[in-house]
Amino acid sequence: MKISDCRLGFIGFGHMAQILFQAMENARLLPRSQVQFHQRDPDRAKKNEMLYGITATSLKNLVTHSDLLILAVRPHQAKEVLTKVEEYDPSKMLITVLAGLKLDYYQHLWKGQLCRALPNLAAGVAEGMTTLVFPKGVTLAFQELVKRLFGSMGKVLEIREELMDIACAIAGSGPGFVFRLIESVAQMGEAQGLSPDQSLLLTAQTFLGAAKMVVKGHSPQKLLARIATPQGVTEVGLKKMKELKLIEALAEVFLAAMVRSKELSLDP
């Protein structure tokens, strides 16, 4: 099935579901008439209907009239929702974007095509990083459909499920840590005389440009060798990073996030 022919249903329409829908809209993957959502709160559902121009409907109607379902409720609601969905039609394709719930959890509740996906915030600007895990037995056609879907929002990486916690820390929480770094550097620039707008632009574009060079295949190590000339400005800054043990501290930040992801997986 082509994505453009797919009828898509969001089960839950919170922050992440809204980001995914907007990313699909920006990529022109499929018309709004082929997208519906179910949201428990009728007031929020009505507000989102008006805001996004798509139809809110009952869970039963959503399942009946969708080919592909994206599960985006809170983790503690998953069992109740999936039990109802399976009663309506257990043959639908399902993508879950819930943090902390492993494939084993779903396979006791769902017999159809299944994928566990971890998209991140940058999907909203088509620069997302989505990690995917598929259980054994799913079709190649379904895998390709999912990869095309998330590929329209940025990069896609299929990994083993035991790596999802570190992927969550790097790709899921990573943008938050980068935002904090950008904010800190920009504030330092302001303190040295730049205007807020000037400092933020300098900082954000520098992070963006450096990241793009690495994504295009340039080795960080080789790039460092090119920019850090002996006794130069960059080398002095890199020595200060080493002196402050900044690299080790950053590693601890990501490892702490990974540990928390593991904790959530153990206690959904």
Local confidence band at 109 (pLDDT 50, 70, 90 cut-offs): confident
6-32: average pLDDT: 94
Contact 169, 255 (CB under 8 A): yes
Whole-number mean pLDDT of the chain? 94
Joined together, the tokens standing for residue 241 give: 């990073």
Per-residue pLDDT at 19 exceeds 80: yes
Residue 268 confidence (pLDDT): 57
pLDDT digits (tens, 9 = 90+) for 241-261: 999 999 999 999 999 999 999
Joined together, the tokens standing for residue 100 give: 């902390």
161-182: average pLDDT: 97
Residue 41 confidence (pLDDT): 94
255-268: average pLDDT: 86
Local confidence band at 17 (pLDDT 50, 70, 90 cut-offs): very high
Residue 119 confidence (pLDDT): 97
Per-residue pLDDT at 112 exceeds 60: yes
Helix or strand or coil: residue 246? Answer: helix
CA 228 distance to own-chain centroid: 33
Local confidence band at 266 (pLDDT 50, 70, 90 cut-offs): low
Q: What share of the chain is helix, strand, coil (3-state, %, to 5)?
A: 60, 15, 25
Residue 267 confidence (pLDDT): 62
**Residue type, position 70, single letter:** I
Domains with residue ranges and CATH for the chain: 3-159 (3.40.50.720), 174-266 (1.10.3730.10)
Please report the DSSP string for 176-225 in residue order. Answer: HHHHHHHHHHHHHHHHTT--HHHHHHHHHHHHHHHHHHHHTT--HHHHHH
Per-residue pLDDT at 166 exceeds 90: yes
Q: For residue 70, what are the CA distances in angstroms to 11, 118, 167? A: 6, 12, 20
Please tell me the distance from the alpha carbon of residue 186 to that of residue 178, in angstroms, as a whole number.
12
156: part of which helix (H) or strand (E)? strand 154-158
Per-residue pLDDT at 115 exceeds 60: yes
Angle, helices 246-266 vs 174-191, to 10°: value is 150
Return the percentage of the chain with pLDDT > 70, whole number.
Answer: 99
Contact 72, 11 (CB under 8 A): yes
When mean pLDDT is compared across 59-68, 98-107, 110-119, the lowest value belongs to 98-107
Residue 3 confidence (pLDDT): 86
pLDDT digits (tens, 9 = 90+) for 139-165: 999 999 999 999 999 999 999 999 999
pLDDT digits (tens, 9 = 90+) for 199-234: 999 999 999 999 999 999 999 999 999 999 998 999
Please tell me the distance from the alpha carbon of residue 151 to that of residue 148, in angstroms, as a whole number.
5
pTM above 0.95, yes or no: no
Per-residue pLDDT at 87 exceeds 90: no
Q: Where are the alpha helices (DSSP H) in the chain?
A: 15-27, 42-52, 59-64, 78-88, 103-107, 140-151, 164-167, 174-191, 196-215, 220-227, 233-243, 246-266
Please tell me the distance from the alpha carbon of residue 39 to that of residue 37, in angstroms, as a whole number.
7
Please tell me the distance from the alpha carbon of residue 53 to that of residue 69, in angstroms, as a whole number.
18
Local confidence band at 110 (pLDDT 50, 70, 90 cut-offs): confident
Residues in a beta bridge with 130 = 156
Per-residue pLDDT at 23 exceeds 90: yes
